[in-house]
Amino acid sequence: MRIGPAGNVGIGTSTLGIFPGASRYLTLAATEFYTADMAALELQGASLSSSVPVVRIDFSSVGANGTPSNIARIHVERGATTAQGDMVFLTNNGTALKETMRIDKNGNVGIGTSTPGSKLDVAGSVAATDVDITKTTNATALDIQHSGLLTNPLVNIETSSGPPFGTNLLQIKAGSAIAADAQFVECLSGTDVKFRVNGDGDVTADRQFTGGGADFAEMVEVAEGHASVEPGDVMVISTTKDRALEKCTEANSTLIFGIYSTKPGFLGSERSRNAPNAGNGTAKIFDEQDMKETYNEVPVAVVGIVPCKVSAENGPVKPGDLLVTSATPGHAMKAPANPKVGTIVGKALGSLASGTGMIKVFVTVH
């Protein structure tokens, strides 16, 4: 051992204080290669009961008056036996020393809690720039629990800018061999399942679906292109192209199909909604505008309430009137006294005294 003039102490070395200008510095140097049975520093203590500190290291700061203040501490608490123990880290918040982190006898780390129940147990908020959770066993990989009154989102996913094409803000992905009835998402009230999304895309819910509109619409191709029609147009089946529509141009047509929807509450389509040729599991979901531009398809209401172009060419329209196609392109009109079967587009929910205009219509094609 050597003690230098600056108060530095060296044990097993003649180099006192590895930092330039260091004073009152303790250096412990191993003189042999490390083995499992050798320790450079060992602290021993004794305790007859559990949860009591056995040994501790204090970190203090001396003020101008020469009085030391305890600013941090590390101590080891004995467990149920002398072979068990927790390592506890304490810091001073300006008032007193307080436990801030603990590593228990099972290797669990607790931050803000003295009873960690998992490998990392944090009581409080966590900020991270990147989190990667890998799980190989059949157990919960991420468990988020809350007790008491919840006044803020339990999970908040937010970005300062929209994700670019081909990326997702949230993605749930499983292997290609996933069973059709495997559950991607499940929402429960107690033990009662209220909402579920299965691996094959099936969605089930106990209650209603509420969308932004009041109709059910189908995406259907427009024979002359989507630019030839607009929302509110009365649509009939095209006679020049299979599975295609066009706006009406004659009165009392039996080819009636529906009304070009302004804002569908539910939108159906035979096509996949994934962007073509993406094929990487992160494809953009085609919206209504994409379907128009790529396939010339528009949403046509087949049931529900939608705005509709009407004409008073067969007399004023009032609520409750049956409507049929008119000779004014894209417009409906008041039905004649005995309309043909298959010509009714729906019932008027508004009034039009003369000319043309837009009213709400309950679509009931028959």
211 or 97, higher pLDDT: 97
Residue 294, C-beta contacts closer than 8 angstroms, at least 6 positions apart: 276, 286
Domains and CATH numbers, the chain: 1-33 (no CATH), 48-123 (no CATH), 178-207 (no CATH), 215-364 (2.40.300.10)
Q: Tokens 């399942």 belong to which residue? A: 193
Q: What is the pLDDT of residue 241?
A: 96
Q: What is the pLDDT of residue 12?
A: 65
Mean pLDDT of 182-190: 87
For residue 284, name the pLDDT band (cuts at 50, 70, 90).
low
Mean pLDDT of 171-181: 75
Distance between CA atoms of 77 and 315, rounded to whole angstroms?
A: 92
Work out the burial of residue 311: count CB atoms within 10 Å of its CB; fewer than 13 is exposed, 13-18 middle, 19 or more buried.
buried
Residue 180, C-beta contacts closer than 8 angstroms, at least 6 positions apart: 198, 199, 200
Distance between CA atoms of 84 and 25, rounded to whole angstroms?
A: 32
Q: What is the pLDDT of residue 165?
A: 61
Above 80 in pLDDT, residue 95? yes
249 or 141, higher pLDDT: 249
Q: Is 318 helix (H, G, I), strand (E, B) or coil?
A: coil
For residue 109, name the pLDDT band (cuts at 50, 70, 90).
very high
Give me Rg for the CA atoms of the chain. Answer: 37
Q: Tokens 């587009």 belong to which residue? A: 345
For residue 322, name the pLDDT band (cuts at 50, 70, 90).
very high
Taking the alpha carbons at both ends of the chain, their separation in whole angstroms is 104
Amino acid of residue 68: P
For residue 31, name the pLDDT band (cuts at 50, 70, 90).
low
Above 60 in pLDDT, residue 210? yes
Proportion of the chain above pLDDT 90, given as a percent:
45
Q: Which helix or strand (DSSP H or E) is residue 267 part of?
A: strand 266-268
Q: What is the pLDDT of residue 349?
A: 98
Give the torsion sign (CA, 225, 231, 233, 239). Answer: positive
For residue 125, name the pLDDT band (cuts at 50, 70, 90).
confident
Above 70 in pLDDT, residue 90? yes
From 31-40, 134-143, 242-251, 357-366, the region with the lowest mean pLDDT: 31-40
**In the predicted model, what is the mean pLDDT of the chain?**
86
The listed range with the strongest mean pLDDT (139-153, 261-275, 327-341) is 327-341
pTM of the predicted model as reported, rounded to 2 decimal places: 0.62
For residue 323, name the pLDDT band (cuts at 50, 70, 90).
very high
69 or 295, higher pLDDT: 295
Above 80 in pLDDT, residue 40? no
